[in-house]
Structure 1
Amino acid sequence: MKIKKNRLETLRMIISSRELGSQEELLAALQEEGFKLTQATLSRDLKQLKVAKAASMSGNYVYVLPNVTMYKRVSTPNKIKEMMQVPGFKSITFSGNMGVIKTRPGYASSIAYNIDNSDIPQIIGTIAGDDTIFIVLQENAHPQDVTNALSEVVPNLK
């Protein structure tokens, strides 16, 4: 069972860090990591992980992982500060009562989840994609106030 758990974790890491569009490419990547398996086993693993195919920025269809927060309840969510210590956060920009946070691919959902569950009164809520978070600010919130609030928990926020 430990081998399967390691294989599934390796598969998650491969899918989240590379743009692969075929099972043959996934099998080759897994073999590079020391896992030799059949196409049938890979297919079952993909189904178990709820992996789907989606269009990438280049227009090719590639394997993607589901937003984990949609499938798993978190009883004690991490604080934004803990999440931002991982180099997933890239930048934040504001326009009116909206903000956009750019992240590394795969980080937006978990960061948005933690923002939604934090005590930042200037933020009404978020919508997350793969590498972008849309933030809705309170009507009279100033971007600098939001930046100041986030800077207390987000290292290196400018």
Structure 2
Amino acid sequence: MKTKNDRIEMLKMLISSNDLGSQEEVLNALAREGFKVTQATLSRDLKQLKVAKAASMNGKYVYVLPNETMYRRVSSPRLASEMMRMPGFLSINFSGNIGVIRTRPGYASSIAYNIDNGHIEDILGTIAGDDTIFIVVKEGVSQQQLVSKLSCVIQGLTL
């Protein structure tokens, strides 16, 4: 059974990777991905995501997510259901006791939430943007130790 969170994530993926100019186009794209929703539900979802319309490169008005510059449009998008199966984590790098985790657009806050709720005592805190997470690590903790502990809460984590 597909949940509201699944639908919202799919909607973000569809809007950020396709030029969708009407609710009918969005409803059809959702239906192709297996989500049958009413126009009223879609309207509430778009409002929740703070979706707006903006002119695309070809002059057509399309739906965009907030901070659209963070969402990179691709010329030949994959199916959104295929993209949903890919982990959001991309990379991790360290400088001293600061870690920088790169994610796919829109994934940083949910991954930071998982880190914060993973009760990893070696992490003092996180700050998440759209596709980047900063983590502050306790002094004396090795990168390898931290990556080992983070791998329990981040799918696909490697150093």
Say yes or no: TM over 0.5: yes
| Distance in 2 of aligned mates of 1:131 and 1:94 | 16
Segment of structure 1 superposing worse, 146-155 or 96-105: 146-155
Segment of structure 1 superposing worse, 24-33 or 104-113: 24-33
| Distance in 2 of aligned mates of 1:149 and 1:119 | 10
Which residue is equivalent to 2:79?
A: none
Amino acid at match of 1:149: K
Runs of 4 or more, structure 1, over 6 Å off, are 5-8, 20-23, 35-38
Q: Which runs of 5+ in 1 are unaligned?
A: 56-60, 66-84
Amino acid at match of 1:128: A
Contact 1:10 1:30 in 2 (8 A): no
| Distance in 1 of aligned mates of 2:19 and 2:13 | 15
| Distance in 1 of aligned mates of 2:29 and 2:111 | 30
Q: Output the TM-score relative to the length of structure 2.
A: 0.57
Q: Give 3-state SS (helix, strand or coil) of 1:106's partner.
A: coil
Q: Which runs of 5+ in 2 are unaligned?
A: 55-62, 68-84
Q: Output the TM-score relative to the length of structure 1.
A: 0.57
1:10-59 alpha-carbon deviations (Å, 9 max, x no partner) = 46513234327987255423234447977x88545422x24245x9xxxx
Q: 1:57-136 alignment to 2 at 5 Å?
A: 62-64=64-66, 87-136=87-136
Q: CA RMSD in A?
A: 4.1
Identity of aligned residues (%): 47
Q: How many residues align?
A: 129
Pairing partner for 1:16 from 13, 31, 35: 13
Residue 157 in structure 1 maps to residue 154 in structure 2 = no
Contact 2:11 2:30 in 1 (8 A): no
Q: Give 3-state SS (helix, strand or coil) of 2:65's partner.
A: strand
